[in-house]
């Protein structure tokens, strides 16, 4: 179990799920440098901790998931500091995508700028009806710096992504669902329960297979179809070496529930 004490986030176990809550409600859970570091540490720790099968990321309070980067930091940063901050944001998003376990964004309110980018790095996104998404960086004289120019087109298409990025305007949860930015929209009161239920369905499956499936999707995303299928074949073969494959197929043939051990 994670023993690290954090200042800007909390981690609470919910069964085998780790609920990570960004805890800066006074600034709408803005992602300052410390929050980026703590989120990265938390996600990496959860990835290595067999206690947890996955994670949910959400924001504290009813208003915000994460309302972007900390503007006070952005206002005074030098170009060198800006590049370092962008790289720090990229490191967090990479940690989420490569932790080997499903991570669900439970978007409870504003997910703007870095908050939208954080949600996009998660395995899937479930939004409360009150959620809003946007990349408003151009209104500050900046561009998205934590992967928004890359992940958003991959999720919603180039045209819709450019419309969001160049207008800087936020969209509501139902529009986000329509264009494919989120997977589900639920009433705010049901958000965490729904995220936990979806994660539970995923965690019921073989842990190594989950990790390899996530890896196959991520690695194949930017490859040509033939190369991506080659990646899939390699990882399919790797999954066939596991004890979980033996257990899963035996359980199916014997009409019983499998007991996976992540090996």
**What's phi and psi for 151, nearest 5 deg?**
-75, -35
Residue whose entry in the numeric block shows the structure tokens 């419309």: 163
What angle separates helix 79-97 from helix 114-121, to the nearest 10 degrees? Answer: 30
pLDDT score at 69: 82
Q: Which CATH number describes the domain made up of 9-203?
A: 3.90.226.10
CA distances from 181 to 24, 27, 82, 224 (A): 25, 25, 27, 23
Residue whose entry in the numeric block shows the structure tokens 């504290």: 60
Which two three-digit tokens encode residue 115?
């908050």
What residue ranges do the domains of the chain occupy?
A: 9-203, 207-253
pLDDT score at 2: 63
pLDDT score at 160: 97
pLDDT score at 70: 80
Which of 7, 73, 81, 117 is catalytic? The answer is 117
Would you write out the chain's pLDDT as a tens digit for each of its 263 residues? 565 789 999 999 999 999 999 999 999 999 999 999 999 999 999 999 999 999 999 999 989 999 988 888 888 889 999 999 999 999 999 999 999 999 999 999 999 999 999 999 999 999 999 999 999 999 999 999 999 999 999 999 999 999 999 999 999 999 999 999 999 999 999 999 999 999 999 999 999 999 999 999 999 988 899 999 999 999 999 999 999 999 899 999 999 999 998 88
pTM (2 d.p.): 0.94
Closest CA to 69 of 113, 25, 34, 17: 113
For this structure, is 7 an active site residue?
no
For this structure, is 117 an active site residue?
yes
Which two three-digit tokens encode residue 76?
């005074």
DSSP secondary structure string, the chain?
A: ------SSEEEEEETTEEEEEE--GGGTT-B-HHHHHHHHHHHHHHHH-TT-SEEEEEESSSSEEEESB-HHHHHH--HHHHHHHHHHHHHHHHHHHTSSS-EEEEE-SEEETHHHHHHHHSSEEEEETT-EEE--GGGGT----SSHHHHHHHHH-HHHHHHHHHH---EEHHHHHHHTS-SEEE-GGGHHHHHHHHHHHHHTS-HHHHHHHHHHHHHHTTS-HHHHHHHHHHHHHHHTTSHHHHHHHHHHHTTS-------
pLDDT score at 73: 85
Residues 6 or more apart in contact with residue 94 via CB below 8 angstroms: 121
Which of 83, 137, 175, 247 is catalytic? The answer is 137
207-253 fold: Lyase 2-enoyl-coa Hydratase; Chain  A, domain 2 (1.10.12)
């Amino acid at each position: 179990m994670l023993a690290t004490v954090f200042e800007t986030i909390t981690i609470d176990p919910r069964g085998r799920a780790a609920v990570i809550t960004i805890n800066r409600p006074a600034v709408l859970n803005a992602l300052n440098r410390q929050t980026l570091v703590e989120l990265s540490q938390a996600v990496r720790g959860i990835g290595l901790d067999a206690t947890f099968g996955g994670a949910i990321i959400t924001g504290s309070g009813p208003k915000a998931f994460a309302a972007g980067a900390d503007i006070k930091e952005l206002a005074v940063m030098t170009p060198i500091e800006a590049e370092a901050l962008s790289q720090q944001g990229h490191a967090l998003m990479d940690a989420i995508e490569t932790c080997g376990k499903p991570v669900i964004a439970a978007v409870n309110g504003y997910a703007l700028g870095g908050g939208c980018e954080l949600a996009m790095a998660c395995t899937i996104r479930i939004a409360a009806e009150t959620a809003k998404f946007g990349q408003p960086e151009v209104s500050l004289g900046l561009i998205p710096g934590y992967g928004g120019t890359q992940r958003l087109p991959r999720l919603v298409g180039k045209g819709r992504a450019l419309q969001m990025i160049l207008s800087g305007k936020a969209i509501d949860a139902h529009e986000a669902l329509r264009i494919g930015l989120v997977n589900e929209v639920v009433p705010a009161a049901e958000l965490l329960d729904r995220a936990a239920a979806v994660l539970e369905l995923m965690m019921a499956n073989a842990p190594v297979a989950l990790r390899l499936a996530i890896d196959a999707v991520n690695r194949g995303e930017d490859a040509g179809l033939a190369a991506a299928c080659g990646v899939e074949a390699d990882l399919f073969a790797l999954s066939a070496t596991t004890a979980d494959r033996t257990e899963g197929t035996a359980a199916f043939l014997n009409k019983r529930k499998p007991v996976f051990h992540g090996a």
